[in-house]
Amino acid sequence: MNGRTLQIEVYSDVICPWCYVGKRRLERALQQLDGGLKAEIHWRPFQLNPTMPQQGMDRRVYLETKFGSLRVFEEMEQHLLEAGKTEQIPFAFGKIVRTPNTFQAHRLIWYAGQQGHQDAIVNELFKGYFEEGFDIGSASVLTELADRAGLKAATFLESDDGCAEVKAEEVVGHKLGIRAVPYFVLDNAYGISGAQPVEVFVAAIEKVRPHRSSTAGSS
């Protein structure tokens, strides 16, 4: 890698359970590669429900509307619980009461990126929603989760800062043709769709390495 840092952009939504799984699998893949590999991860917004009311909606109603019946989701839930065990994610779907509008959460992630706290914020949002059942559409909840990550965000969340930037990043994702998340872009050269097995991430990163070496020193 000639000492250079691998840039990884992750398009995700914080209410997407497979995005949480994908995050863990990417992290495990990076750990399996040699210690000389440096990676810088940037989290980009993708709203699964862009027309969701600002106050969110009852989760049961949401699931029945989205999947037609709870049974369909319950079958999916079993696969997620199994994947969660492997990735040490104790999914607690029963604690989730509301499905939130995630735009404010994406604003917080954007702000955290400006402050060098992005990964910590993403971790707290995933944990807060999937493990603790927090309503991450609530400004007070987002403020609390930011505090847990070591970031003071109350004043920011009361403002409109970051709105235009988040919307612009969403447009970039759609222009890339992203229609589902998680979606990982490695060094602007290789895309991975979905929470793929660790070995898929490892192989993809290895494919990017020769590209980086051949362009080392270029501007």
Residue 111 is assigned to a structural domain of this protein: yes
Burial (Cβ within 10 Å: 0-12, 13-18, ≥19) of residue 137: buried
pLDDT, residue 3, reads 56
Note if the pTM is more than 0.75: yes
pLDDT, residue 70, reads 84
Q: Flag whether pLDDT at 138 surpasses 80.
A: yes
What's the average model confidence in pLDDT over 76-95?
95
Residue 113 is assigned to a structural domain of this protein: yes
Q: What is the pLDDT of residues 53-85, one digit of tens each?
A: 999 999 999 999 988 888 888 888 999 999 999
C-alpha distance from residue 145 to each of 7, 125, 138, 154, 163 (Å): 26, 7, 11, 11, 20
Q: In what helix (H) or strand (E) does residue 21 lie, and over which residues does it extend? A: helix 17-32
What's the average model confidence in pLDDT over 196-211?
86
Q: Give the count of domains, the chain.
A: 1
Per-residue confidence band for 214, with pLDDT thresholds at 50, 70 and 90: very low
Q: Give the 3-state secondary structure percentages of the chain, helix then strand then coil, rounded to 5.
A: 55, 15, 35
Least confident of 17-21, 44-48, 80-84, 204-208: 204-208
Percent of the chain with pLDDT over 90: 80
Residue 91 is assigned to a structural domain of this protein: yes
| Total residues found in the chain within this entry | 219
Q: What is the pLDDT of residues 157-192, one digit of tens each?
A: 999 999 999 999 999 999 999 999 999 999 998 999
Residue 81 is assigned to a structural domain of this protein: yes
Closest CA to 112 of 75, 83, 150: 150
pLDDT, residue 5, reads 86
DSSP annotation of 101: P
Residue 219 is assigned to a structural domain of this protein: no
Q: Flag whether pLDDT at 18 surpasses 90.
A: yes
Beta bridge partners of 45: 12
Tell me which amino acid residue 199 is. E
Q: Flag whether pLDDT at 152 surpasses 80.
A: yes
Q: In what helix (H) or strand (E) does residue 163 lie, and over which residues does it extend? A: helix 163-175
Q: Flag whether pLDDT at 120 surpasses 50.
A: yes
Q: Which domain holds residue 105?
A: 5-214
Percent of the chain with pLDDT over 70: 93
Tell me which amino acid residue 92 is. A
Residue 51 is assigned to a structural domain of this protein: yes
pLDDT, residue 212, reads 46
Q: Flag whether pLDDT at 30 surpasses 60.
A: yes
Q: Flag whether pLDDT at 109 surpasses 80.
A: yes
Tell me which amino acid residue 87 is. E
Alpha carbon distance, N-terminus to C-terminus of the chain: 16
Average model confidence (pLDDT) across the chain? 91
CA distance 118 to 123: 9
Burial (Cβ within 10 Å: 0-12, 13-18, ≥19) of residue 138: middle
Q: 124: domain CATH number?
A: 3.40.30.10
